[in-house]
A and B are shown apart, each in its own frame.
Chain A
Amino acid sequence: MKELSLHILDIAENSVNAGASKIEISVIENLNKDELIIKINDNGKGMSAEKMKNLADPFITSRTTRKVGLGIPFLKAAAEACEGRLVISSEIGIGTQVEVHFRHSHIDRMPLGDLKGTWLNLLIGYPKVHWILVYSVNSNTYELDDQPIKEAINGIPLSDPQVIGYLKNEIANGFDSVKDIKS
């Protein structure tokens, strides 16, 4: 995968498969510290210590549809290739936290890519999940909690043409507000 935002889409899928009803994703660009951090917290079923140990092994996966799981190993390798790291903590019955660090300026760091597209995708594609999506650049933060939106449109799908337009606009404005202020 060529974009970090595609990895985010992928890792979020793990959370959905773990039965999470609430998923919080933060992307933090801290240029002063030369850091890019991605955090994904879910309230899914969690993993045992033994399963955690095998997580970076692509041939050990809980999926049943094919025999390899490449999501986490891919992202871990990408982080480690640019002086970063991937840390996972998990508790059975509580949920899982994935935290990935990159050196922001590292020449091998993948671009963030179309993060707005990833957000739109997650919001619409998994409507049953309560999403809290955060994007921050230095001290500016944009948070999108989808609960008020879902309450307002109660009964019509998020893929209604007008709602798609609304969401796109909302996300674009939010990203602009974070990036606007020169640091």
Chain B
Amino acid sequence: MNAIKSLDDLKKIREEALAKRKVTETSGATQVIVGMGTCGIAAGARETMKAVLEYIEAENLPNIVVTQTGCIGLCEQEPILQVVMSEKEKVTYGKVSPDVVKTIMENHVVKGEVVQDHVIPLQG
């Protein structure tokens, strides 16, 4: 019984979220990707992911799609977090601890300003 009630709640959440989206539609969804290969996990990526979700929940940020990915070959830089904003190039951050997550979310995801200090330099 409880489950049905809560699924109904979810449907309400959905309607509210869709209504909100119409207002902000022009900006498109922002993607946040966390590296979750063995290397990432061993370096603390689950806590990084948790920090991202906690930030979204605490600040009530809609329209952000959080996903994870496997090893991208930069194991020494893990935990790795990538931010893709609509029509802009993907930015890859390295050694993203939960504290760094907060800085990236605040500045990049919310304000659109890349946090240069934590960007992994492109490798030639």
Contact = CB atoms under 8 A, between A and B. Distances in A.
Interface of A: 1, 6, 9-10, 13, 16-17, 63, 65-66, 69-71, 74, 114, 117-118, 120-121, 124-127, 148-149, 152-166, 170
Interface string B28-68: 01001010111101100010011001001101111111111
12 contacts: A13-B36, A63-B71, A125-B36, A148-B7, A152-B14, A153-B13, A153-B17, A154-B14, A155-B14, A156-B14, A157-B65, A162-B16
Interface residues of B, number: 43
Chain A contact residues, majority secondary structure: helix
Given A126-B68, A157-B64, A161-B61, A114 B56 contact: no
Given A149-B10, A153-B10, A157-B29, A17 B70 contact: yes
Interface of B: 3, 6-11, 13-14, 16-18, 21, 29, 32, 34, 36-39, 41-42, 46, 49-50, 53, 56-57, 59-68, 70-73, 75
Given A63-B70, A148-B7, A159-B64, 13 more contacts: A6-B41, A6-B42, A9-B46, A13-B38, A63-B71, A65-B71, A69-B38, A121-B36, A153-B17, A154-B14, A159-B32, A160-B13, A161-B59
